[in-house]
Amino acid sequence: MTTLPTSTDKKLGLVIDLDTCVGCHACVVSCKGWNTENYGAPLSDQNAYSGAASGTFLNRVHSYEVQPADKAAQLIHFPKSCLHCEDAPCVTVCPTGASYKRVEDGIVLVNEKDCIGCGLCAWACPYGARELDAEEKVMKKCTLCVDRIYNTNLPEEDRQPACVRTCPAGARHFGDLGDPDSDVSQLVAERGGFDLMPEQGTKPVNKYLPPRPKDVEPEFDILAPYLEPIATDGKGFVGWLDKALSALPGGAK
């Protein structure tokens, strides 16, 4: 049944640090690499070598410019994948029972053998976490690398989602967000982790850590005043040059 469990034993999920993400897309590549050859149908590409390439990805990195009122603009890289919501609207809309949320760890998965490819779960997801594969015609989504995290054939350090394992900046963290003492829960509490689109009522498990406030640079260089740019009300040669050039036809006044 695609009704949601009232509670799950664990709430496995990701914590993504928007302060440290450098926007390298390594998580995108490692995710596609792992998931195209493991759990379920492969992640196909269409016209991969043409100008109109597209393909299925379970994780994508957006970049946003944020302009504070009185400071310099910030560029923030923003990885986005399934948030494994507690109140996952994608699960309840599924007519076949293909979509489900696991009681043991809260991971939201698709049983691809039951998926009719109607796309309604992707319609119900506010985050764009689900993509219908154009080749296999079934719904693909982040599995939280369910085939890695419990996989005893892998060395212990590899038993975490591919995106977390590969992140060179340490911007991605994996753990049980239902346990208040876990490392990820501590990190969220410490850094003020937040939900995406809380008004949608999905109660996402994945949390995002905000960029840290920018430092205000102190005046540390005693020579700086001497390096100030040439004054606009130039005197002497510069002043003469300014006037002479302005006097030319079409010259800037």
Partner 1 sequence: MHPAPSVIIFTTFSGLGFGLLFWLGIDATAPTGWVAFVFFAIAYLMAVGGLVASTFHLGHPERAIKAFSQWRSSWLSREGIAAVFTLLIMALYGAGLVFFGAQWSPLGWLGALGALATVFTTSMIYTQLKTVPRWHHWTTPALFLALSLGGGALLSGRVTVALVLLLVAAAVQIAAWYFGDTRLKASGTSLASATGLGGIGEVRAFEPPHTGTNYLLKEFVHVVGRKHATQLRLITLLLAFAVPIAILLLGVNHITALLAVVSHIAGVLCLRWLFFAQAEHVVGLYYGKR
CB distance 130 to 99 below 8 Å: no
d(CA 108, CA 83): 9
Binding residue for partner 1, selected from 17, 86, 131, 242, defined by CB under 8 A: 131
The 93-112 site mask, x for binding partner 1 (CB under 8 A), equals xxxxxx--------------
Binding residue for partner 1, selected from 74, 103, 244, 246, defined by CB under 8 A: 74
Binding residue for partner 1, selected from 9, 33, 54, 243, defined by CB under 8 A: 54
CB distance 154 to 38 below 8 Å: no
Which residue's CB is nearer to partner 1, number 123 or number 240? 123
End-to-end Cα, the chain, rounded Å = 75
Which residue's CB is nearer to partner 1, number 121 or number 162? 121
Q: Compute CA distances 46 → 55, 58, 210, whole Å.
A: 6, 16, 35
Shortest Å distance, C-beta 157 to partner 1: 28
If one asks whether residue 171 binds partner 1 (CB under 8 A), the answer comes out as no
d(CA 196, CA 203): 9
d(CA 37, CA 42): 6
Q: What angle do CA 143, 147, 149 make, to 5 degrees?
A: 90
DSSP 211: P
If one asks whether residue 28 binds partner 1 (CB under 8 A), the answer comes out as yes
Which residue's CB is nearer to partner 1, number 194 or number 240? 194
If one asks whether residue 119 binds partner 1 (CB under 8 A), the answer comes out as yes
d(CA 98, CA 138): 10
CB distance 40 to 112 below 8 Å: yes
Shortest Å distance, C-beta 146 to partner 1: 22
Binding residue for partner 1, selected from 55, 102, 146, 147, defined by CB under 8 A: 55
> Which residues in this chain contact partner 1 in the complex, by CB under 8 A?
1-4, 18, 25, 28, 52-57, 60-69, 71, 73-76, 78, 80, 89, 91-98, 114-120, 122-128, 131-132, 134, 136-138, 194-201, 208, 210-211
